[in-house]
């Protein structure tokens, strides 16, 4: 589907703050994966490379999830009983 020009991927510049507007635009596009897709499709990706990339991303996300869970467990505050079993 073609998106309407000057509606899609458009940021208005407020008070001449061009760099800020470009920052917002880039931020949104990076979050949506536009830049990654653009860079990845410059050259052909062989099937083996694609498999390696997908597997690597899988492992990384699993690791990140587990690590963030552990950190959240260690860093938690405001526990109702901070030292369970010691009272």
Partner 1 sequence: MFRQLLTPVRAVLQNLGAESVGPKLASHCRSSGACDFSATSSAAYHTSPALFLGRRQRKEGNTSFVQKEYVADGEKASILEVRQSKGDDRFPDLHLPTREFNGIMFKDLPIVNIKATLNNTLLCVTDSFGAAYTTRSCGYDGFKNARKGTNVAAQATAFTLGKKLMQRGFRTVRVKVSGLGAGRLAAVRGLTFAGVNVVSLTDYTPISWNPPRPRKQRRL
CA distances (Å), origin 51, targets 12, 27, 44, 46, 74? 40, 28, 14, 9, 35
3-state secondary structure 46-65: CHHHHHHHHHHHHHHHHHHH
Query: Which member of 25, 50, 62, 71 binds partner 1 (CB under 8 A)?
Result: 25
Residues 33-72 that bind partner 1 (CB under 8 A): 34-35, 37-39, 41-46
Least distance CB 23 / partner 1 (angstroms): 9
Residue whose CB is less far from partner 1, 74 or 79: 79
- Judged by CB under 8 A, does residue 18 bind partner 1? yes
């Amino acid at each position: 589907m073609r998106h309407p020009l000057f509606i899609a991927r458009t940021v208005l510049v407020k008070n001449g703050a061009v760099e800020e507007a470009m920052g917002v635009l880039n931020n949104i596009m990076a979050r949506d994966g536009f830049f990654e897709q653009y860079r990845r499709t410059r050259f052909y990706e062989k099937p083996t490379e694609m498999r390696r990339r997908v597997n690597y991303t899988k492992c990384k996300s699993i690791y990140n999830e587990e690590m963030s869970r552990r950190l959240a467990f260690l860093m938690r505050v405001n526990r109702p009983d901070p030292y369970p079993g010691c009272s």
